[in-house]
Chains A and B, each alone.
Chain A
């Protein structure tokens, strides 16, 4: 149980385009979803926390206009990288927690984004 699906797993696109990444909880309702960015051989950096039906809370230094997060339902959150540039190339990972209470985060398999 507690499966999180992330799509696409890999995307390559030209500079200036926008890219949407989906994160779905397949067998539970996720009140809260998280978006992380992982640089090569580095740890995960929390970008934002999104709660269903409300605006995302961004971490300091993360551009909210650059990284648009939508959490329209209890099973789906999306991250859109707008006007992507090569420096946005990275591994993006989402996670979700089922319901309320002290439930561990469950992670998706990540999306490798490469901007040419």
Chain B
């Protein structure tokens, strides 16, 4: 079945450091790919998405490129802030956006 694998956390960085959170996937067909962010005690917010190969999703300084050849969708940000501390989930959906398959999440901790 479809699956998403994320790097284990926590990822601990100092403010203004470069961030990469790795995400790879296994899917039949051509999935859409997503990054969601969850702040403490809250639900998930869509951070960015890409619907086809070589698409780049971007939002709030974060970006991720849909790499079909490596089945990856790594999340990057050039300079993290303390307010970026949260759990980040990579996810995929096939056949439209109706059914999401999530990775296990990666906690990011940014210190001043």
Q: Which residues of A contact B (CB under 8 A)?
A: 4, 6, 32, 34, 41-44, 46, 49, 93, 95, 97, 101-110, 112
Q: Contact at B105–A6, with CB atoms within 8 Å?
A: no
Number of residue pairs A-B, CB distance < 8 angstroms: 52
> Is B45 among interface residues, defined by CB-CB distance under 8 A?
yes
Q: How far is the CA of A108 from the CA of B43 in the complex (A)?
A: 5
Which of A32, A34, A104 interacts with B49 by CB under 8 Å?
A104
Which of A32, A103, A110 interacts with B43 by CB under 8 Å?
A110
- Taking CB as reference atom, which chain A residue is nearest B51? A102
**Tally of contact residues, B, Cβ under 8 A:** 21
Q: Contact at B98–A43, with CB atoms within 8 Å?
A: no
Q: Contact at B103–A43, with CB atoms within 8 Å?
A: yes
* B27, chain A: closest CB distance, angstroms: 16
- Interface majority SS on A: helix, strand, loop or mixed? strand
* B36, chain A: closest CB distance, angstroms: 8
With A93-B43, A109-B43 as contacts: A102 and B102 at CB distance below 8 Å: no
Q: Contact at B100–A43, with CB atoms within 8 Å?
A: no
